[in-house]
A and B are shown apart, each in its own frame.
Chain A
Amino acid sequence: MEQFHSEVISCRESARDYYELVFTWKGPVPLPGQFLTLRCWDGESPLLRRPFALSAYDGAERRASLIFQKRGPATSIMTRLKTGDHMDILGPLGGSFPSPETGRRPVIVGGGIGTGPVLFLADALAKAGLRPLLVLGFRDKNFVPRVHLPLGCETVITTDDGSAGVPGTVIDYLRSRDDLENSRFYGCGPHPMLKGLHELALEQEAPCSVSVEEVMACGIGACQGCAIPVTLPQKFLRVCQDGPVFDSRILVWT
């Protein structure tokens, strides 16, 4: 990890209340699943840096991307970022998605704010020739992001109301497929989606890694603010340092 100065290349609305931010990257090469914290405003409110998972990295151009949702004061400020604006970045932080086990096909699901990191992962696995199944779920067509989808994947879009792609949730879709033996599951998105994925992975006796989100202070493992409950003896792990990607089997699912 490094703390470095970054300039905004572009910031545009990619779906309703969702934005794609592209910016210069001077830090170590980030991997899919890793995140950064940033600050692009002065003053004491909003206070803390905000964490975001990366959605793409272009090593040749030294630029990275993330997808964020306009949710509160900090992300509202971010929606107004213009080309050339300055950001203070700390990254890359946390661990990355593990590689798929030999003989297993990557099945990657994402939705909502979890779309970014799965796009980064799908792109990396596709470039490695693994032809992942990428299933992205959204509430309705207005939330389907107009972003560059990775090549070399079998990509399926689902919407809850059927206004775009396959009607239903990503889990409904996966359960409709009969070719998921020997899958290797990955996910990032809303809690019900990840829980559904975890349960499917248990049934299939397949490995499953999920990237989770938690409110964060330091982002580097020092403060223990972003702890989540786990089934291990230590009871809690830090999302920022021990995650944000976890084996779904060690998380406590409620």
Chain B
Amino acid sequence: MDLTVTIGNGILPNPVGVASGTFGFGEEYGRLMDLSRLGAVYAKALTLEPRPGNDTPRMVETPAGMLNSIGLANPGWERFREEKAPFLKEMPCPAVLNIGGKKESDYLELVQKCEELDCHWGYEINISCPNVKAGGLAFGTDPKQVETLTKKLRPLTRKPLIMKLTPNVTDIGEIAKAAEAGGADGVSAINTLKGMVIDTKNRRPVIPAGTAGLSGAAVRPVGVASVYRIAQSVSIPVIGLGGIFTADHAIQYLLAGASAIQVGTALFVDPRIPLQVLEGIVSYMEANDFNSLKDFHGHF
């Protein structure tokens, strides 16, 4: 059975990764699980400058999900290079750097800097964070900007280039087409959905920023539909995420057209879930005589 996933010039050992923002830079969960069995670690979003993150509280639980407003809190390029990159380099599975920025030149400069390092397998470009004032969503909702940014990033690296897309758009297929036209090797979807919870006692949003990003089981059908739409629109690989808690959920994404998946919020429920999902995918493939992940595609 072949579990590998090819994205651009890169090959992932298996389709199960852990989602950016839920896994830090790998050190913490590395003490709880065998990282060598993961398909990939999609690292916490990195920006050129250090970011302290958004005001608190930053999260609240919602029906079968949660809202977060972390605000891309991260140590910035300099401290990343010194403190985080060495761990990623030694990590026994592929590391994908998640790149954030306020403006186009931030993304380009950061990818150029990261090319000096050899700690990573590829890039996931964050054009979909709902929790920052500049950058993030502002890029990811405009197909022209997505294509332009992707085109400018493309010549900077030979490593796999994955654009991470937001579901907060009318047609995510159009955004994916723009990424493909710009030369992306793949797209990942979905980032969180914009949501709000209001404290009726204090008469203000629970999260100081107002809106925040919804994730967890509640968003799963939105994610599956988004991946299906993208897979119908482009021929580059799609990495599906959003509410994957079990192998069955991951298989829904694969059947919808995903070539790989990411587990995010479910890690907060049980850190064993990513490897359980992987085992469940393997069992499903065995039971159905699937030889490779391509056998998941084209059933409907």
Contacts A/B (CB < 8 Å), 15 sampled: A2-B32, A39-B269, A44-B217, A45-B63, A47-B216, A47-B268, A88-B270, A220-B29, A220-B32, A221-B28, A222-B267, A224-B70, A225-B68, A234-B52, A241-B28
- Residue in contact with B56 in the complex, picked from A44, A46, A223, A227, CB distance below 8 Å: A227
Q: Verify if B64 is at the interface (C-beta below 8 Å from A).
A: yes
Q: B17-25, B152-160, B222-230, B278-286: which lies at the A interface?
A: B17-25
| Interface pair B58/A225, CB less than 8 Å apart | yes
| Interface pair B63/A217, CB less than 8 Å apart | no
**Which positions 245-280 of chain B face chain A at CB distance < 8 Å?**
245, 265, 267-272
The number of inter-chain residue pairs (CB within 8 angstroms) is 99
Interface hub of A88, A215, A229 (most chain B Cβ within 10 A): A215
Q: Verify if B65 is at the interface (C-beta below 8 Å from A).
A: yes
Once bound together, how far apart are the Cα atoms of A45 and B65, in whole Å?
Answer: 8
Interface hub of B21, B22, B55, B268 (most chain A Cβ within 10 A): B268
| Interface pair B23/A227, CB less than 8 Å apart | no
Q: Verify if B5 is at the interface (C-beta below 8 Å from A).
A: no
| Interface pair A47/B24, CB less than 8 Å apart | no
Chain A interface size range:
20 to 34
Chain A residues with CB under 8 Å of B61's CB are: 46-48, 215
Q: Verify if B73 is at the interface (C-beta below 8 Å from A).
A: yes
Chain B residues with CB under 8 Å of A217's CB are: 22, 59, 66, 68, 265, 268
Chain B residues with CB under 8 Å of A45's CB are: 63-64, 217
Q: Verify if A171 is at the interface (C-beta below 8 Å from B).
A: no
Q: Verify if B221 is at the interface (C-beta below 8 Å from A).
A: no
Instruction: Return A108 CB to nearest CB of chain B, in Å.
Output: 27
Once bound together, how far apart are the Cα atoms of A48 and B218, in whole Å?
Answer: 13
Chain B residues with CB under 8 Å of A127's CB are: none
> From A225, which residue of chain B is reached at the shortest CB distance?
B59
- Residue in contact with B24 in the complex, picked from A39, A49, A214, A223, CB distance below 8 Å: A223
Q: What are the nearest 7 A-B pairs in CB distance?
A: A222-B24, A235-B52, A44-B217, A225-B59, A44-B64, A222-B28, A217-B268
Q: Verify if A193 is at the interface (C-beta below 8 Å from B).
A: no
- Residue in contact with B66 in the complex, picked from A2, A47, A221, A229, CB distance below 8 Å: A47
Q: Verify if B205 is at the interface (C-beta below 8 Å from A).
A: no
| Interface pair A215/B23, CB less than 8 Å apart | no
Q: Verify if A200 is at the interface (C-beta below 8 Å from B).
A: no
Chain B residues with CB under 8 Å of A49's CB are: 268-270
Q: Verify if A1 is at the interface (C-beta below 8 Å from B).
A: yes
| Interface pair A1/B32, CB less than 8 Å apart | yes
Instruction: Return A219 CB to nearest CB of chain B, in Å.
Output: 8
| Interface pair A228/B56, CB less than 8 Å apart | yes
Instruction: Return B177 CB to nearest CB of chain A, in Å.
Output: 32
Chain B residues with CB under 8 Å of A39's CB are: 269-270
Majority DSSP secondary structure for residues of B touching A:
loop
Using an 8 Å CB-CB cutoff, how does the interface string of B198-229 with A read, 1 for contact, 0 for none? 00000000000000000011100000000000
Q: Verify if B299 is at the interface (C-beta below 8 Å from A).
A: no
**Which positions 208-254 of chain A face chain B at CB distance < 8 Å?**
214-215, 217-229, 234-236, 241
| Interface pair A227/B32, CB less than 8 Å apart | no
Q: Verify if A90 is at the interface (C-beta below 8 Å from B).
A: yes
| Interface pair B24/A221, CB less than 8 Å apart | yes
Once bound together, how far apart are the Cα atoms of A49 and B32, in whole Å?
Answer: 16
Majority DSSP secondary structure for residues of A touching B:
loop
Contact A214-B57, Cβ < 8 Å, known A3-B271, A49-B268, A49-B269? yes
Chain A residues with CB under 8 Å of B70's CB are: 223-225, 227
Once bound together, how far apart are the Cα atoms of A39 and B58, in whole Å?
Answer: 22
| Interface pair B22/A218, CB less than 8 Å apart | yes
Using an 8 Å CB-CB cutoff, how does the interface string of B57-81 with A read, 1 for contact, 0 for none? 1111101111010100100000000
Instruction: Return B193 CB to nearest CB of chain A, in Å.
Output: 15
Once bound together, how far apart are the Cα atoms of A222 and B70, in whole Å?
Answer: 11
Q: Verify if B53 is at the interface (C-beta below 8 Å from A).
A: yes
- Residue in contact with B22 in the complex, picked from A3, A44, A90, A223, CB distance below 8 Å: A223
- Residue in contact with A90 in the complex, picked from B55, B57, B68, B271, CB distance below 8 Å: B271
Once bound together, how far apart are the Cα atoms of A171 and B174, in whole Å?
Answer: 62
| Interface pair A215/B29, CB less than 8 Å apart | no
Once bound together, how far apart are the Cα atoms of A29 and B40, in whole Å?
Answer: 33
> From A241, which residue of chain B is reached at the shortest CB distance?
B28
> From B24, which residue of chain A is reached at the shortest CB distance?
A222
Starting from the known contacts A217-B22, A235-B52, 5 additional A-B residue pairs (CB-CB under 8 Å) come to A39-B269, A47-B268, A47-B269, A218-B22, A226-B59
| Interface pair B56/A222, CB less than 8 Å apart | no
Chain A residues with CB under 8 Å of B44's CB are: 222
Instruction: Return A90 CB to nearest CB of chain B, in Å.
Output: 7
Once bound together, how far apart are the Cα atoms of A220 and B30, in whole Å?
Answer: 11
Once bound together, how far apart are the Cα atoms of A220 and B65, in whole Å?
Answer: 19
Once bound together, how far apart are the Cα atoms of A42 and B200, in whole Å?
Answer: 29
| Interface pair B268/A227, CB less than 8 Å apart | no
| Interface pair B56/A236, CB less than 8 Å apart | yes
| Interface pair A224/B28, CB less than 8 Å apart | no
Chain A residues with CB under 8 Å of B55's CB are: 229
| Interface pair B57/A215, CB less than 8 Å apart | yes
| Interface pair A227/B245, CB less than 8 Å apart | no
Interface hub of B55, B61, B68 (most chain A Cβ within 10 A): B61
